[in-house]
Amino acid sequence: MKWKTKCFLIAIPSFLGITIMYIIPFIKVLYYSVIDNQFNKKFVGINNYYSTLNNEYFKIALKNTMLIILICVPIIIVCAFILSIIQQNKNKILKFLYSFFIIPIVIPSVSIIEVWHKFFSNFDNVIPIYTLFAWKNIGICIILISASVNTIPNSFYEVAYLNGAGYFQKHFYITLPYCFPSIIFSTLITIVNSFKIYKESFLYFRTNYPPVHSYTIQYYMNNNFLKLDYQALATSSVIVVV
């Protein structure tokens, strides 16, 4: 049996799982998004999308979600890159700083929320959720980028030093390009996680209707699910995927 054939046979269970658990349900979601309701099943084309895109609450949710992506994701990636460089240093204080951002990966969200309530009880803005999202997600980015940083041969830096490159030039022309694939992958993961901030946000505000500044796409989708409005839920889900 050829190697490619063996690989294909081994991959069949995975393909079946993806088809059954993801592709078929998503096709059903697409179907729900273009019918009037699940009872008369009248085809309405893009009317549901038009209604959703013009819904005031959806606009607020979409805006807040996009702000998380545009503000938090770049900050997380830049900080993760800097901390990945710092972790090469043998300084114990810097090592502690590095560990401080890894800890949230193993700490339950409920425990972190209790701490956040103590520190941010007087804040009536997006800072508590933004900082929580950043602290919860920066750790995995540091691990991924650090893995690339640690594979860069020291000889590269030595040659750069001998050619007169400074500290920042060394990392801009060597470390950054070498880690770029990991940075892109970390960025994609963080963007995906920005749509999953609902759990921490819900635990923090303890309600399905948080302040307007923190009302995100997942709140909108969850509330439509509770109201059994499958058309609004399906339509918003397709828009989020896009």
Confidence (pLDDT) at 77: 93
Beta partners for residue 35, in sequence order: 43
Which structure tokens are listed for 122?
């007087």
| Ranges in the chain, pLDDT < 50 | none
State the CB neighbour count (10 A cutoff) for residue 101: 22
| Overall residue count recorded for the chain in this entry | 242
CA distances to 28, 38, 104, 211 from 229, in Å: 15, 10, 35, 22
State the CB neighbour count (10 A cutoff) for residue 2: 7
Report the alpha-carbon distance of residue 54 to residue 237 in Å, rounded: 15
Find all residues with CB under 8 Å of 195, minimum gap 6, and list them: 65, 217, 218, 240
Confidence (pLDDT) at 189: 92
Residue whose token pair is 């300084």: 91
Find all residues with CB under 8 Å of 142, minimum gap 6, and list them: 80, 83, 84, 87, 98, 101, 102
Confidence (pLDDT) at 177: 87
Confidence (pLDDT) at 95: 66
Beta partners for residue 43, in sequence order: 35
State the CB neighbour count (10 A cutoff) for residue 105: 13
Confidence (pLDDT) at 90: 60
Confidence (pLDDT) at 154: 82
**Looking at this protein, which amino acid is placed at residue 59?**
K
Confidence (pLDDT) at 86: 79
Confidence (pLDDT) at 70: 93
Buried b (16+ CB within 10 A) or exposed e, 29-38: beebbbbeee
Which structure tokens are listed for 52?
């959703």
Report the alpha-carbon distance of residue 224 to residue 46 in Å, rounded: 18
pTM summary value: 0.80
Confidence (pLDDT) at 105: 75
* Secondary structure element (H or E) that encloses residue 106, with its range: none
Helices 109-119, 198-205: axis angle to 10 degrees equals: 50
